[in-house]
Structure 1
Amino acid sequence: MNIIQVIILAIIEGLTEFLPVSSTGHMVITSSLMGISKDEFVKLFEIVIQLGAILAVVVLYFKRFFRSVDFYIKLIIGVIPAVILGLLLKKHIDKLLESPLVVAIAFVLGGIILLFVDEWFNKPTVMEEKQISRLTALKIGFFQCLAMIPGVSRSAASIVGGMSQKLSRTAAAEFSFFLAVPTMFGATIKDLWDFHKHNTLTSDQLHQDIQYLLIGSVIAFIVALLAIKSFITFLEKKGFKLFGIYRIIAGIVIIILYFTTNALHTA
């Protein structure tokens, strides 16, 4: 990786982390197009900058994180499925991160679901986070686990999961944002530790890696600050259909490129 690639990936992460289009999927495709080899640092980078983007939630919803102890209990309950499955399936997940074809298929299937989700779940009864039960938080946590498949979208999976439990679009989106904080914090700490254990770096390489992680995280954070509120406003007015159309078109284009060129075959 070079600094230009770091900046491009960070901007893409900040723009897509909270949209139901899969930030990981977009980074996998972009990395392939730029010819970035999927080494251990690149995989670490893609996780760490997601935490950078998600920290924008803490800033924008700062007061929510000091509302009640019950808020944190629901977040802990909601993240348990991802912790368990993440530990059990980490090697398989890492392998999937190398496949643009998996991303493309997930794009199309997820897009089809988004075309109809507004019609399926159009009678919400839960309008804000404090109305969410602990059992509902756990169910949403299981939906979030679907995003372990690159291209599924953590945001889409948890929002659709919330809407299936009678949450309004806005309530489901906001709880998805909140749930992302402990989820990605845990994933980042785990990946940093694993990278530290299994890699011996020179001082120059370590300095460059830290620099890239910091620059990527800061850029993703700033871009995400701008993207979150815009997404909520758009979601309230338009729903998910346009995101579904985008995912289907993008997935089909990726599949065509995958089978007709070498552009998307991982280096």
Structure 2
Amino acid sequence: GIFGARPYKTFYVENDQVTFATLDPNFKEAVKLSADWYKKGLIDKEVFTRGWGARDAVLPTNMGGMTLDWFGSTASYNSLSTGQIPGFEFYPMEPIQIKDGVKSVTVGRNTTPEIGWGISAASKNPEQAIKFMDWWFSEEGRRTWNFGIEGKHYTMVDGKPVFTDYVLKNPDGKGPLKVLQEVGAQVSGPGVQQDAEYEFQYSNDIAKQGFEMYMKDGNTKRPLPILKYSPKDIKELDKIMALVNQTTEEYMQKWILGVSDVDADWDTYMSRIQQNGIERAKEIVQQGYNHYNSVK
């Protein structure tokens, strides 16, 4: 996104026409710049293998200088300046103007999660499974998902959950999000209801600057709405995109790691995702998008 491209597994809409991220000419340029930065040592050499623990690996060791991540949790790393890394300062920055008409804006989030729950046909206790799923959508379940365990992670104040010092000033020096995730709260996966208050509560003034910055007009793009497909179409779409994403990840790693050249491979990559069925996938998503607009 910093180079003006969209996340590489996403569809998006321009002038009511669905397209795929890597078909945008800006994507090729973004990959070339990423490869150049990687070669120069400006991108973490282990970017493809660190996973979710990247910030905890490179920020406390003073190896990291910039990241794309949530304001609330990332700004909390400024606590490192009090002892581990004198002068450590992490601040949000507005989208960069790459060139005329191209800005490094990020994509906003839908208000409803795009992930759902399901019960396996092989489940031995489907009644208990549905009760468990239902509980997460109760007032108590949603509060647990967002704030953790009452008495340990939060207390009720004037009818609202308020984080304890165990979360906000953890004795082991862990960030609020890490504390919550260790007990199963705020982990990615199930389609539960987020409460923005959880992030706002533990966010410092620097993070709040970021929130305000990216709520300005022009600093975020609308995501593709959540679309519905027929069982036949979703099966076909999933099959196509599994191949397209596998092909894309293969080339992305080769290009950024410097194993292969973007310009030399680009036509071959385009040919492969065409063979994978990307145009048919676009048709299916376009149909879903048109249907979405027809029933507003």
Fold equivalence (TM over 0.5)? no
TM-score by length of 2: 0.30
Rg larger for: 2
Q: Greater helix share, 1 or 2?
A: 1
